[in-house]
Structure 1
């Protein structure tokens, strides 16, 4: 097919579309964005630079899928836990046949026949691999190489593209075009063991924590987190997975992050001795790699695998390694765009007939760097997974209410829409309403970890499941607090939290420590996987999309979480939001009490919550 496309490239410079063909129709701008703040346009993109162009067709029945999702995720609904099959979900997101036909005709008019396309199982995405020169002709646009001033990352993007006017109702989005997301990992500073920031010291061997296992946590956990510490703190000591033949857990890896097996063995020998000889499956997506040389060991990949899998042994576990990472190097002889790794993972996991019941991701970006049309399509993919019974957790970000890129002089954060307005900067995918967003705590007793990302989406409206919790929080704010800096009617996040600092891990054969919400997400996902294990062992369905259940528990069953009160998540020249009793946009409802949650999800959830 590649040879075919290069032939097409040669011919398009000579050929003229036949009068009246789809390619000859009048074009109209489909999407346009302001030149992104913090990026510099350097030069025209090479004509032979290859991009994987993804065309999203409308999903006319998505509202029906969403209704199914909320009903089967609502503990008070009679359909709770009755998840949809892969085929049922695909039928609900399938585009109209007319949309498929018209898009196919448009592509064929540019010399790209139907059999040269790659389609998602539901046919709602069409992917073509073409040179920039052809994309520019098809969408009447110009691509350039843009360089991110702070990081040096480079992308081949445009700020506007057009489609034939008759296609506008049949195409939701085309990317990569106007998306300037860098998709970075969420992680605070890594340091060698012994060089950690000072923790609160105590002379007692144990710290009294009433909600913990046996009401106490080893004092060493205050400066050195291990799986045992987390099990003690979150009341999970003694639980042994019983559905290892059915329950599955996964973490995702991007940007060349390698999960080192020797480090995994060292970690288990030190902290999970019963799992010393265990391993995990590796799934390679889009030419993903997992280099096992010690100097290639990835801090993020090791953190995710060591903790998510260390908490859940012997549950079957998978590390997804997805290829593609910025920066693009514009001087390559045969340049290939590889800046959209997340789309490749979504394509793979949606095609999997039996995905893991729990998946953790510790990567994301600022919501404003992702065009709203694309963010909503990606978010809709998470809804598909939730409807099939998959629980998705995402780290909430490590920059409080900001983006880590505030103005050095004023410390203020600015919008990326050309207006340069002073605003808080929400995170994505953490602010998608169909995922569970995990903030961070530190120290024992637990406190707010000030980096914990949280706030309110500018793209997604507040879902019904969190109306009560968020209204209650907002009613406590002094009138006018941060007026104009955030969207009070937007989807609020995070939903929950977990420990996020002083995590002991092995990297390249050396023990070190790390923190961040990237530690909190695999921790929370590990405990969710254990809850799924308990349900599956009883013949019950997995939990699937968690948020309606979490907010129901938070409203009437406070013992399900350890509420974190006091502290805030500063950013953008402000103190950020404060952590209060109940839900807040810093730590959500707080950290999990596994023992109490297990008893709840193994019983009649709706009956217990109604007591």
Structure 2
């Protein structure tokens, strides 16, 4: 059933005072094309009411890069001296001047002050407003949009604020932002609507077994790792020979979004074959906003990702406890922001219905979560791996920069955040690329970087493979089986200082044969991925059978496991967590296995090519646990 275009009616919103005319305006954001799959509809009820969030300019942002580098750069005297969550929240809270300036603008526009709520931690002002009144406030024209999947969305193409207010505001929701839908959603006429899905699903090839690859016989010989990757293959590839000793002090988190859920019996089937000591071991479930281990929908599309992540993470880090962050109920599509709310109370407040899951869920559908919004439900683990993403082109730069700042704040607190780089090479989700005159499509020619993998404050993880007929003792290449390692250059984020030397050398010695028509070749933007790990032929137990899985969805949790083991050794030595690892890795690439074969084709091109040193296919290379352990213990 298609979700009807109606709004939840709320009390009268505007004061009776007329809006005061404002002469000088400044465009805050604009969009020249729709994301792929979206089309405009004509049945928007402009009397309907929507929640509005005004994200205020945060304080001390000009210092934020240096604050993170102070505790992450191995050459800094403050290396490893991370901040507390409260210290971070206080550093970046908007100034009084900013809060008052935006409140004054709203008051002058006729908005009664008691209707405006200030959220200190997230630095935002929230209120409810009729669409017609929002159009007048922002000098914008709103429309309803529908995705090919049936998901609905409210958006405008441009909006402005008074010139005197512009430098106090990051961006406003709902406005230009679209997220990638996961699936068609059912609902009834009383639901809040125009809810595009909130977070991009991993590329289907990442977790769906390749046709005909059900595993009848599992090889235990390391000479067969080019056909089947098992935990022992990974230990041999990356020289992982370590037994954890400080399990109660350590923590590792895997993020999954409902309806993706693991199957307990599959964990045990995997354990019986590869690590009998972990039979019965389960991750600690931390539910955000009604996240649950659903069992009604099964198969690789619903169990493959979570099974893959947990089977390998448990095997590689046991007995270090594993935390499963299960985000979102069966009705709402939760977002990266909903996850960030759950691990950081200071980030809570002001989620928007067109971008994020809103809880309690207003839907009456079965499985809707009626509890309060998850806000600081659990302290973040020391390492967090996420195998989900979206296209940079699906949201605006302002939206993505704001969220990226939150990953920076986690790094300041000593948290290592990993994201898969994508499985479609230089193309975006689903293999789509940008058409110079229209939206993303399979026929586009411009490369499509992914988010949050392009955020400079996460560690972006690409994929490699053991070449056919090779062994774990031979050099790997970029993954070119079923999937291609996501990589390239951001269209949004400037190149971070820690990456400049490596990327400058890449352009000097191996400049790609493409122009600005195909990618951002300014040599001034963030390159990704940072590192890689094997992403082909993983043996995974799914619904009682073994299959082979592919993707950076496998690479990221493996790298997360390695960093978790390094944290264990640091804790045993009386040291703190490794936190944001990129500055260390770029200063010491000798601790990684350089990958110099393969490419990441897409958008009708061969893509980029893996070369000596950093490249936009495999980053700096794959982990060498022995060298990384010695490196991090020396600081």
Q: TM-score range by the shorter chain?
A: 0.7 to 0.9
Distance 1:18 1:315 in 2: 61
1:347/1:64 Cα in 2 relative to 1: closer, same or farther (>3 Å)? same
Matched, 1:369 2:394: yes
Q: Please show how residues 145-544 of structure 1 align to structure 2 within 5 Å.
A: 145-149=144-148, 151-182=149-180, 183-189=199-205, 190-191=207-208, 195-196=212-213, 218-237=222-241, 239-254=242-257, 256-293=259-296, 295=298, 297-323=302-328, 338=332, 341-351=335-345, 352=376, 354-403=379-428, 413-415=434-436, 422-443=445-466, 444=471, 445=474, 446-450=476-480, 451-477=484-510, 481-482=514-515, 484-487=517-520, 488-544=523-579
Match status 1:17 vs 2:17: yes
Shift of 1:18: 4.7
Name whichever of 362-371 and 390-399 sits farther off: 362-371
Specify every segment of 5 or more residues in structure 1 that has no aligned partner in the other structure, as ranges. 199-203, 207-217, 327-337, 606-611
Mapped to 2, the partners of 1:601 and 1:314 lie a distance apart of: 21
> Cα deviations across residues 249-269 of structure 1 (Å, max 9, x unaligned)?
111122522233333333323
Closer/same/farther in 2, CA of residues 385 and 600 from structure 1, 3 Å limit:
same
What TM-score do you get using the length of structure 1 for normalisation? 0.83
Q: CA deviation at 1:349?
A: 1.9
Q: Distance in 1 between matches of 2:13 and 2:496?
A: 50
Give the drift of 1:272.
Answer: 2.5
Aligned pair in 2 of structure 1 residues 490, 427: CA closer, same or farther (>3 Å)?
same
Q: How far apart, in 2, do the equivalents of 1:499 and 1:590 lie?
A: 10
* Contact 2:43/2:144, CA 8 A, preserved across alignment: yes
Whether the 8 Å contact between 1:235 and 1:593 is mirrored in structure 2 is yes
Instruction: Tell me by how many angstroms 1:405 deviates.
Output: 5.8
How far does residue 300 in structure 1 lie from its aligned partner after superposition? 1.7
Kindly tell me: are residues 197 and 456 of structure 1, through their superposed partners in 2, closer, same or farther at Cα, counting changes over 3 Å?
A: farther
Aligned to 1:100, what secondary structure does the other structure show? helix
Task: Confirm or deny: 8 A CA contact 1:579 1:587 kept in the other structure.
Answer: yes
TM-score (norm 2): 0.80
- Cα displacement string for residues 285-332 of structure 1 (whole angstroms, at most 9, x for unaligned residues): 233332144627432222222222332112222211222799xxxxxx
> Could you say which residue in structure 1 is the equivalent of 2:598?
567
Is the counterpart of residue 601 in structure 1 residue 632 in structure 2?
yes
Mean CA deviation greater in 413-422 or 282-291: 413-422
Question: In 2, are the aligned partners of 1:9 and 1:131 still within 8 Å (CA)?
Answer: no
Alpha-carbon spacing, 1:573–1:82, altered in 2? closer, same or farther (3 Å): same
- Separation in 1 of the partners of 2:438 and 2:106? 31
In 1, Cα distance between the equivalents of 2:423 and 2:258? Answer: 18
For 1:40, the equivalent position in structure 2 comes to 39
Give the match's secondary structure for 1:298. helix
Pairwise CA distance, 1:485: 2.3
- Residues 229-266 of structure 1 show CA distances to partners (whole Å, capped at 9, x for unaligned) of 212221113x1212211111111122522233333333
Match of 2:356 in 1: none
Residues 193 and 504 of structure 1 are in contact (CA less than 8 Å); yes or no, is this contact kept in structure 2? no
Q: What SS does the corresponding residue of 1:252 show, helix, strand or coil?
A: strand
SS in 2 for 1:40: strand
Distance 1:416 1:114, change over 3 A: farther
1:61 CA displacement: 0.4
Q: Is the 8 A contact 1:34 1:418 kept in 2?
A: no
Deviation by residue 1:109-146 (Cα, 9 ceiling, x = unmatched): 7667658737252x413445666566445434343332
User: Is the alpha carbon distance of 1:267 and 1:193 closer, same or farther for their aligned partners in structure 2, counting shifts above 3 Å?
Assistant: farther
Structure 2 unaligned spans of 5+: 1-6, 181-198, 346-375
1:295 is paired with a residue whose SS is coil
CA contact (8 A) 1:392 1:436 kept: yes
Q: Distance in 1 between the 2:424 and 2:557 partners?
A: 19
Report the Cα distance in structure 1 between the residues aligned to 2:436 and 2:319, rounded to whole angstroms: 46
Contact 2:533 2:555 in 1 (8 A): yes
Counterparts in 2 of 1:51-90, with a 5 A limit?
51-90=50-89
Which structure has greater helix proportion?
1
Q: Do the aligned partners of residues 512 and 155 (structure 1) sit closer, same or farther apart at CA in structure 2, a change above 3 Å counting?
A: farther
**Which whole-Å CA distance do the structure 2 matches of 1:419 and 1:265 have between them?**
42
* Partner secondary structure for residue 577 of structure 1: coil
Q: Report the Cα distance in structure 1 between the residues aligned to 2:170 and 2:46, rounded to whole angstroms.
A: 26
Q: Deviations over 1:420-453 (max 9, x none)?
A: 9942211111111111000001224422113101
Aligned partners of 1:262 and 1:131: how far apart in 2? 50
* Number of positions where the alignment pairs a residue of Structure 1 with one of Structure 2: 559
- Classify the secondary structure of the residue corresponding to 1:472: helix
Q: Indicate conservation of the 8 Å contact 2:35/2:440, yes or no.
A: no
Residue 364 (structure 1) shift: 1.0
Distance in 1 (CA, whole Å) between partners of 2:232 and 2:512 is: 44
Bigger Cα displacement from structure 2, 247-256 vs 139-148: 139-148
The 2-side partners of 1:342 and 1:277 are apart by 30
8 Å contact kept, 2:258–2:292:
no
- After superposition, the CA RMSD in angstroms is 3.2
Deviation for aligned residue 1:347: 2.2
Query: Measured at CA, do residues 478 and 72 of structure 1 come closer, stay the same or move farther in structure 2, by a change above 3 Å?
Result: closer
Instruction: After TM superposition, give the deviation of residue 223 of structure 1 in Å.
Output: 1.9
Deviation at 1:60, TM superposition (A): 2.9
Going from structure 1 to structure 2, the CA distance change for 1:416 and 1:551 (only over 3 Å counts) comes to farther
